[in-house]
Each structure stands twice: as structure tokens, then as C-alpha cells.
Homo-oligomer: A and B are copies of this chain.
């Protein structure tokens, strides 16, 4: 099977873009419970508020990333935190049973990704690039890439009906330059929901108030009070859009872009459907608003 075939096929499929009654199905893959949240939480809230369907999938159960506890005890905490975060985001949240720190790009794991994408009948699939500082992040990127195209092949995972179209696969933002930098195709203004994103993220207590501060040597700076914690998290995770994100914001929001404080940006992966700008606008209806 070969590639030129695909370029034609984008045209025909672009006419039947959405799965049901105008609802867009978005699925986001992260390596750990809290990764989807950070990368796409604001956008997810915007989708959810418009009635679209978002699912977060953590490929590992997070059973390693903590300074004091570990194993099943930690996994259960992480799963509960993810469930609570999902409620706050307004999305479905699934945590797969793979060891944290041991995610490998196996065929088994690829098939799990394929099944999740199919069951969600996804229009949009979001994942990290295969370039990131944590091996689990990189292999999440590889696994999701490796699911692209295969989601439409009926003989693969035949018990789960294939998608009728290859979704748009997108990378979430990262800061890595090698072997090539992240180049956002779109950027989403999340200012309106930034507080909700921070509140939802704060459900991952064992991550944002225990493990990550520990790795940074700031554990003693973490407030005890719930409200102060939100402020702490908000300050910590706040940053002005970088030049590339700003350019993407301008493309989609025009002059309003200059005022955007918080944005999430995404790059179209070359291995799924290649959308036109019009299609991107329809797939991300919050763009420009």
C-alpha cells in the first residue's frame, strides 16, 4: 500500500468530517496521569463546554514518579486523582496499566492505542512528539504515531471496528529543538478557562504538590492551603506565549493574539489526515473566538 493514495483520499474524506451530529471527538494521549492535562487541559475544557467529547488516556499508571511511595499504592492514588481531574475538566479519563518509567513501543501497546482511538471514534488525536525529556513521553509519541493509518485497517485489531477515516493527529507543544523544533499549526487562546485548567490540574495532588516540587527542590514552598495552592500552581505553570505560539495565535486570532496570556499550541503530525485551514477551523471551533 502506498502514499500518493492518501493525498487524494484527504479530499473525499474532508466532506464527511465529523462523526455524529456535529460533535467532535477528541482523544489525548499522555504518558502519565497529569500529562494530558498540562498539554491540552484548556483546549479540552473549551471543547467540553461546546458539547464536544474529549477523552484523556494516560499510557502508564504513574506508579513510579514519587519520592516516597510507589507501586500499586501510588497507581491507585494516581488513578483517583485522574478521575477527579477528569470531572473538573469535563472529560473522560482513562489510566492504562503500564508501569511508569517502563513504557516501551511494543505492538501490544500500539494495539491498545488503536483500540482507544477507534472506540472514541476520534476526529482528533493529540500526543507528545517523540522528542521530549522523559522516555515515557517519547515512546507515547512513537506509539500514537504508529497507530496513525492502522486505525482504518480492518484486519488490525479486528474485534474493534476500524474508523472510516484517518483522524487528524496532532502534537502538543514542547520546547525541544532536536532533531527539529516544534512548529505549531494552531494555537488556542485558553485565557477564559485558565483558572479552571489550574483547578482541574490541582486534582493531581501527588504530582503538583509532592513529586514535582520535590524534583525541583521546592517542596518546602508548597502551600498547605487549598486556595494558595491554586495560586502557587497558577504562577508556576503560567508563561507568556513564545514567538512560535504567538505567530500561530496571530494567524487564527488576528490582533487579539497580542493580549493572550495563556495558550496551548499544536502541530499537525504528518502521519494522519492532513487538514486544510478550513478543516482545522471546523475541527477546532474555538479558534478565532
Contact = CB atoms under 8 A, between A and B. Distances in A.
Interface stretch (A61-69, A246-254, A280-288): A61-69
Given A2-B35, A13-B217, A211-B1, A71 B63 contact: yes
A1 B176 CA distance: 17
Contacts of A104: 107
Given A65-B153, A72-B156, 5 more contacts: A1-B34, A2-B35, A6-B216, A178-B180, A179-B180
Contacts of A8: 216, 218, 236
Contact of A3 (B6, B175, B179): B175
Interface residues of A, number: 82
A159 B153 CA distance: 22
Query: Copies of this chain, how many?
Result: 6
Interface of A: 1-9, 12-13, 32, 34-35, 38-39, 61, 63-76, 79, 95, 97, 99-102, 104, 107-108, 110-111, 131-135, 138, 145-146, 148-150, 152-160, 174-180, 207, 211-212, 215-218, 236-237, 239, 270-271
Nearest to A212: B5
Contacts of A75: 158-159
A211 B138 CA distance: 32
Nearest to A35: B2
Contact of A101 (B5, B148, B150, B175): B150
B1 A158 contact: no
B68 A73 contact: yes
Given A12-B217, A13-B217, A101-B155, A4 B236 contact: yes
A176 B270 contact: yes
B135 A73 contact: no
Contacts of A135: 110, 145-146, 149-150
In the complex, the 10 A-B pairs of residues with the closest C-beta atoms, listed nearest first: A70-B71, A71-B71, A72-B158, A72-B155, A179-B179, A9-B216, A64-B155, A70-B155, A135-B146, A179-B180
A198 B133 CA distance: 36
B159 A73 contact: no
Contact of A2 (B38, B107, B150): B38
A69 B73 contact: yes
A225 to B, nearest CB: 21
A216 to B, nearest CB: 4
A185 to B, nearest CB: 12
A61 B63 CA distance: 16
